[in-house]
Amino acid sequence: MTDNNIQTNSITLLGLGSMGTALARAWLAAGTSLTVWNRTPNRAQALASEGATVAPTAAEAVAAGRLVVVCLLDDESVGAALDGIDLSGKDLVNLTTGTPAQARARAEWARERGARFLDGGIMAVPPMIGVPDSGAYVFYSGSEDLFTEHREALAVPAGTTFVGVDPGYAALHDVALLSAMTGMFAGVAHAFALVRREDIAPTGFASLLADWLAAMTASVHLAAEQLETGDYTTGVVSNLAMQVAGNATLLRTAAEQRVSPELLTPYMALMERRLAAGRGDEDTTGVIDLLAVG
Ligand SMILES: NC(=O)c1ccc[n+]([C@@H]2O[C@H](COP(=O)([O-])OP(=O)(O)OC[C@H]3O[C@@H](n4cnc5c(N)ncnc54)[C@H](OP(=O)(O)O)[C@@H]3O)[C@@H](O)[C@H]2O)c1
C-alpha cells in the first residue's frame, strides 16, 4: 500500500442484480465490511447470511460508509435510487453501464451534491468477478484522487484500468470495445451460416474460426499507427482495391450457400465509397473517416 492509498475496509453497495451480487461476494470473501441495499429486499437475504449488513433503505446504506458503489440497471435507476439522499463527503463509484454523456452528467450531478465521482465500465460477466486471472477488469474514469485512494478495494472484484479524468471515458472505452465485439459476432454469425448446412462439424470449424480471428486482431495495431500518422498507405498488406475485389467472392459464396449477406454489406459499401474516392492504395483504415458524421 502506498501513502496515497486508504485501506478501504468498508463499502456500501447499491444494487444486487447478477453483477451486484457477484461484486458483493468478492468483497465479502476478501473480508470487507459490506453494507448492501437492493430495491427488492429479498435479493439481499442470501448475502446477509454470508456476512453483509443489509440496509432497509438506500439512504441508510449510503450513510453507513464513505465509499458508495452503485451497480444498477441503467443511469435512470441510479438517479431514482439516490434521489434526495445526502451524498456530501461521499466517494461515489458508478459501475452501472451507460453512455459517456450520461456519465459526465452524473459526475456533475454528484459534484453538485458534494461527492467525488468515479465512473466504471465492467469488462466481464458475473462468473468472472472475484476470480483471479479470469481477465475481468473495469475501466475507470473521473476523480483520480478517489481512484487512487480506493484502488485496493476496487481491485478486489476485478482488475482496474484508469483511462482519464474525463468521467465519460470509462463508458466510451467500454462501449467502443463492446461495439467491436458486436461487429465480430456479426462476422462469426455469417461464417457459421455459410457452413451450417454442409457436412462440416461446427465444433471443428469453431477452432479454425477462433484461431483465425485471433491472428487477424494484430491488424488493430497497424490501423492505430496509421491513424496516428494520418498516412493510411504505410505498412499496407492487403490494399483496399484488392479487398473490394475480394468482396465479390464473399458475396457470391453467400449467394451460393443461400446465406443473406446483410451482415457484410454495410461494411462493404463503405469500402467501395472509399475506393471510389480514389483511395485504393490505402488500408481499410480510411473507412473510419467515413464513419464520422456531424
Ligand atoms: N450481467 C452482466 O453480464 C454485466 C456485465 C457488464 C456490466 N453489467 C452492468 O452491470 C449493471 C447491473 O447489471 P446486472 O446484470 O446486475 O442487472 P440485473 O441483474 O438486471 O439487476 C439490475 C439491478 O438494478 C436494480 N434496479 C433496476 N431499476 C431500478 C430502479 N429504478 N431503482 C432501483 N434499483 C433498480 C434492480 O433491482 P431489483 O432487484 O429491485 O429489480 C437490480 O438490483 C448494468 O448496468 C449492466 O449493464 C452487467
Q: Where are the alpha helices (DSSP H) in the chain?
A: 18-29, 45-49, 58-63, 75-82, 100-112, 144-149, 151-154, 169-195, 202-216, 219-229, 240-256, 265-276, 286-291
Tell me the domain boundaries of the chain: 3-165, 173-291
Q: How far, in Å, are 51, 91, 130, 199 from residue 25 at the CA level?
A: 9, 21, 8, 45
3-165: CATH topology: Rossmann fold (3.40.50)
CATH topology agreement for domains 3-165 and 173-291: no
DSSP letter, residue 74:
S
- Binned at pLDDT 50, 70 and 90, residue 9 comes out as confident
Q: What is the pLDDT of residue 2?
A: 38
C-beta of residue 36 within 8 angstroms of C-beta of residue 16: yes
Mutate to test the pocket of ligand 1, among 14, 40, 68, 72 (most ligand atoms within 8 A of CB): 72
Q: Is 97 close to ligand 1, i.e. is its CB under 6 Å away?
A: yes
- Cα 42 from Cα 48, distance rounded (Å): 10
Q: Indicate the average pLDDT of the chain.
A: 96
| Single-letter residue type at 38 | N
Q: Is 42 close to ligand 1, i.e. is its CB under 6 Å away?
A: no
Distance 211 CA to ligand 1 centre (A): 34
Q: What is the pLDDT of residue 78?
A: 98
For residue 133, the Cα-to-chain-centroid distance in whole angstroms is 18
C-beta of residue 166 within 8 angstroms of C-beta of residue 118: no
- Cα 224 from Cα 150, distance rounded (Å): 32
- Binned at pLDDT 50, 70 and 90, residue 8 comes out as low
Q: Is residue 6 over pLDDT 70? A: no
Q: Is 18 close to ligand 1, i.e. is its CB under 6 Å away?
A: yes
Q: Is 168 close to ligand 1, i.e. is its CB under 6 Å away?
A: no
Q: Is residue 4 over pLDDT 70? A: no
C-beta of residue 147 within 8 angstroms of C-beta of residue 154: yes
Q: Is 44 close to ligand 1, i.e. is its CB under 6 Å away?
A: no
- Cα 193 from Cα 173, distance rounded (Å): 30
Nine-digit cell string for 108: 456533475
- Cα 98 from Cα 259, distance rounded (Å): 35
- Ligand 1 atom closest to Cα of residue 22: 16
- Binned at pLDDT 50, 70 and 90, residue 294 comes out as confident
Q: List the single range of 7-16, 18-27, 139-148 with lowest mean pLDDT.
A: 7-16
> Which percentage of the chain shows pLDDT scores above 90?
96
What average pLDDT score do residues 222-243 get?
96
- Cα 44 from Cα 42, distance rounded (Å): 5
Q: Is 8 close to ligand 1, i.e. is its CB under 6 Å away?
A: no
Domain 173-291, CATH number (from 3.30.1330.10, 1.10.645.10, 1.10.1040.10, 1.10.10.60): 1.10.1040.10
Q: Note the pTM of the prediction, 2 decimals.
A: 0.94
Q: What pLDDT digit, counting tens, does each position of 135-188 carry?
A: 999 999 999 999 999 999 999 999 999 999 999 999 999 999 999 999 999 999
What average pLDDT score do residues 99-104 get?
98
Q: What pLDDT digit, counting tens, does each position of 260-292 carry?
A: 999 999 999 999 999 999 999 999 999 999 999
- Binned at pLDDT 50, 70 and 90, residue 105 comes out as very high
Picking from 238, 239, 240, 264, the residue whose alpha carbon sits closest to that of residue 251 is 264
Q: What pLDDT digit, counting tens, does each position of 33-84 carry?
A: 999 999 999 999 999 999 999 999 999 999 999 999 999 999 999 999 999 9
Return the bridge partners of 34, or none: 11
C-beta of residue 70 within 8 angstroms of C-beta of residue 41: no
